[in-house]
Chain A
Amino acid sequence: MLIGSGRSKQFLNVVDRPIGKGKNEVSLSAFAFLFSELVQYCQTRVDNVAELERKLESSGFGIGLRMLELLCHREKGNRRETRLLGILSFVHSTVWKALFGKVADSLEKSTEHEDEYMISEKELLVNRFISVPKDMGAFNCGAFVAGIVQGVLESAGFPARVTAHFVPVEGQPRPRTTLLIKFSEEVVERDRQLGG
């Protein structure tokens, strides 16, 4: 076979072909079962809830790394955000759309702390079928998504600590999930030096 001859599309070498858009649809049931198994697998390898949270975060981290790489190439012509607000809105819209098919419900800045931001979702896809037992306290399987966000931010050069929390909403029977993003000092400092 002639490699890279360009005579016909099927002879193109894999690296010369345009990167695929990917199939945008996946069975929610299949995903839910897979995720459920992931959580159960993690549970067999930990002793307490805090460790389970960390385990789920680290499973998400690698996905975050890859998502940044892929989306910068696919959506942004190999450019990546260098400013704090830029990367946050990239996560809130581009990453969320690629992962969940929609932008996140809200992106807010903490009123108390300069270095904290929050991404909230009324019903996080991974939590759709999950009821956390009372004895696990405030544990949230959104820790997996928190890990993904942390992976994206860290590999983009914005080291941060991301955690998932349930937040009750007035007038709503179900709490929403908020991802709390706390950036490292140097990130905030650097962004300040770059100026508004």
Chain B
Amino acid sequence: MSQVYNLFVINKSGGLIYYKDFGSTAKLDTNNSLQLASVWHSLHAISMEFSPVPDCTGIEFLEADNFDLHCFQTLTGTKFFVVTETGAVGIDGLLRVVYELYADYVLKNPFYEVEMPIRCELFDYHLSNHIRGGKDRPTGGSFR
């Protein structure tokens, strides 16, 4: 599996609600991660305005010399984005899995307040399981 450096989740007003780094490359401290998240939020918003194409939904993929940035925005405006090694594949799928885990283990948790920082043990647990092993699929919506 391709190397993922960091994962960010930002709420619809641009606040960082979740940050996690994987591996030792590209670790960010709290200040830097907050800064990067708000810069990305603004860039994303500006790109939507600047786009010559009508109904643009913002930057989905940013390619740099030594990293790739993949972004996925949900219908409610929450953004998930990851920084990966260059040429990483299957990241769109990964972002959707993270979204699914968020829908399951964050939004169904009665102790989570919407738009607030995510502190859910089960979300952390299933997320690192997935990133590390790639075998822990979300449970899906139906029972039995």
A interface, CB within 8 angstroms of B? 24-29, 31-33, 35-40, 43, 101, 125, 128-133, 136, 141, 173-174
Contacts of A43 in B (CB 8 A): 110
Expressed in whole angstroms, the Cα–Cα distance for A31 and B104 within the complex equals: 12
Binds A, one of B12-20, B52-60, B68-76, B136-144: B136-144
Stretch at the interface among B34-42, B77-85, B121-129: B121-129
In the complex, the answer to whether B105 meets A131 with C-beta atoms within 8 Å is yes
Q: How many A-B residue pairs have CB under 8 A?
A: 59
Once the chains bind, are A133 and B104 in contact (CB under 8 Å)?
Answer: no
B-chain residues with CB within 8 Å of residue A29 when the two chains form the complex: 108, 141-142
Write out the residue numbers on chain B whose beta carbons fall within 8 Å of the beta carbon of A33.
108
- The answer to whether B141 touches A28 (Cβ under 8 A) is yes
Which B residues lie within 8 Å of A129 (CB)?
Answer: 104-105, 108-109, 122
Beta-carbon contact of A131 and B139 below 8 Å = no
Whether B111 is near chain A, meaning CB under 8 Å from some CB there, is: yes
Complex formed: what's the CA distance from A36 to B108 in Å?
6
Assess whether B143 is in contact with A130, with CB atoms less than 8 Å apart: no
Contact between A36 and B144, CB atoms less than 8 A apart? no
A130 and B141 contact, CB distance less than 8 A: no
The contact of B111 among A27, A35, A131, A174, by CB within 8 Å, is A131
**Given A36-B109, A36-B110, A131–B144 Cβ distance below 8 Å?**
no
Which residues from A are CB-within-8-Å of B26?
none
Residues of B within 8 A of A24 (CB): 144
Besides the known contacts A27-B141, A36-B109, 4 further A-B residue pairs in the complex with CB atoms under 8 A apart = A26-B143, A43-B110, A131-B122, A132-B111
Residue B119, interface by CB 8 Å:
yes
Residue from B120, B125, B139, B144 within 8 A of A173 (CB atoms): B125
B143 touches A131 (CB 8 A): no
B55 to chain A, nearest CB (A): 30
Interfacial chain A residues near B141, Cβ < 8 Å: 27-29
Q: How far is the CB of B84 from chain A (nearest CB, A)?
A: 26
Q: Which residues of A contact B123 (CB under 8 A)?
A: 131
Once the chains are docked, how many angstroms separate the CA of A25 from the CA of B120?
A: 28
* List of B residues within 8 angstroms of A174 by Cβ: 125
State the CA gap A131–B122 with chains docked (Å): 6
Say yes or no: B121 contacts A131, CB within 8 Å: yes
What chain B residues lie within 8 Å of A173 (beta carbons)? 125
14 A-B contacts (beta carbon < 8 Å): A27-B141, A27-B142, A27-B143, A28-B141, A28-B142, A28-B143, A35-B110, A36-B108, A36-B109, A40-B110, A43-B110, A129-B104, A131-B111, A132-B121
